[in-house]
Amino acid sequence: MGAIHGRLLTAWSTAGVLGPLIVNRVADAGERAGHSGPSLYTTSLTIMIGLLVVGFVANECIRRSTHASTRHRKGAPVSTSSRKPLMVFVWLWVAVPFAYGLYELARKATQLFTG
């Protein structure tokens, strides 16, 4: 649990500091180049998507190596079938608000860029 919490706090703090800096610098550079409106943010959103992909891949690599190292420990393996209903509930607990957030983001972005 501590490792997950540490990764989460590190990701949040990094995004909180670097996110606005990246967006503002790219938008300022686009403004100096003569761009205006929504086109100022296209490059910064592409950069953010790339960083998200890098973070996802890094997280997958860490999870796989951690899982592989716990598989070889002595003792009986922990059964995940008894925890499956809890895991489904927890994933739904996270996925439903996340899906709603993505829907709202798409809806508002559509209004912003088309209106």
Residue 80 above 90 pLDDT? no
**pLDDT tens column, 33-55:** 998 888 888 888 888 888 888 87
**More confident position, 27 or 98:** 27
Q: What integer pLDDT is reported at residue 32 of this predicted model? A: 93
0.75 exceeded by pTM: no
Q: What integer pLDDT is reported at residue 64 of this predicted model? A: 55
Give the Cα separation of 54 and 18 in Å (integer). Answer: 15
Provide the mean pLDDT of the chain.
78
Residue 7 above 80 pLDDT? no
The 3-state DSSP composition of the chain as helix, strand, coil percent (nearest 5) reads 85, 0, 15
With beta carbons less than 8 A apart as the criterion, state whether 40 and 22 touch: no
